[in-house]
Homo-oligomer: A and B are copies of this chain.
């Protein structure tokens, strides 16, 4: 979180008590879609909680949803269509997104395949690689470009999101070039912390970190 430099006490510009967890809203969204597919038309916070499983409590769900407005029917539950639409809007999942991938080795290729065929809302619209044997070839209709040409190729493709799947040593430079080519959000698989302007959304998935959480439990 970006924290203010103030050390005083008046810095509480709080205003909105927007205490909400986006990953949790995403779980709700998926749970609702599953329920819709199962034929439900209405859903209570209890039903959603047990569908999601894990430590989700009905109270938590209601609290979260209350921040989006009150559109449940007391004594009844939530209208599933209304709810899923609301969640999709908040999450930005009410439209499609074009994604650029930089680094088309094993991991980049796997991620592209996963997204293109399992996620309707996300489309691979640009691929960049350094390996000369891949440059110029196409993958499911997308031409693989030279990473060096990123500034030339990318700006025309309106990709707001990029995935970085290059070695850690190259990640920071790639990230900066992506941002100056119009990318506003980055999903980073390189095990390094990207230092970028604060308005750029960055999410780093660090395999070693995830594994160390597991080894900690086992130790």
Q: Give the B-binding residues of A (Cβ under 8 A).
A: 1-3, 22-23, 25-27, 29-30, 52-55, 89-93, 97, 105-107, 109-111, 113-115, 118-119, 121-122, 160-161, 184-187, 191, 193, 195, 201, 203, 205-219
Q: A160-B218, A185-B217 are in contact. Are A109 and B111 (CB under 8 A)?
A: no
Extra A-B contacts (14), CB below 8 Å, given A91-B215, A184-B218, A201-B217: A22-B213, A26-B209, A26-B212, A29-B212, A53-B195, A92-B215, A106-B113, A106-B114, A109-B110, A118-B208, A119-B211, A185-B215, A201-B213, A203-B213
Q: Copies per complex?
A: 2
Chain B residue with Cβ nearest A202: B214
Closest 4 CB pairs of A and B: A92-B219, A92-B215, A201-B217, A185-B214
Taking CB atoms, residues of chain B closer than 8 Å to A25 are 216
Taking CB atoms, residues of chain B closer than 8 Å to A215 are 91-93, 97, 121, 161, 185
Chain B residue with Cβ nearest A111: B207
Q: Is A193 touching B109 in the complex (CB atoms < 8 A)?
A: no
Q: Is B216 touching A205 in the complex (CB atoms < 8 A)?
A: no
Q: Is A93 touching B212 in the complex (CB atoms < 8 A)?
A: yes
Taking CB atoms, residues of chain B closer than 8 Å to A184 are 217-218
- State in angstroms the CA–CA spacing of A218 and B98 once bound together: 12
Q: Is A91 touching B187 in the complex (CB atoms < 8 A)?
A: no
Residue from the set A93, A121, A185, A213 with the largest chain B CB neighbour count within 10 Å:
A213
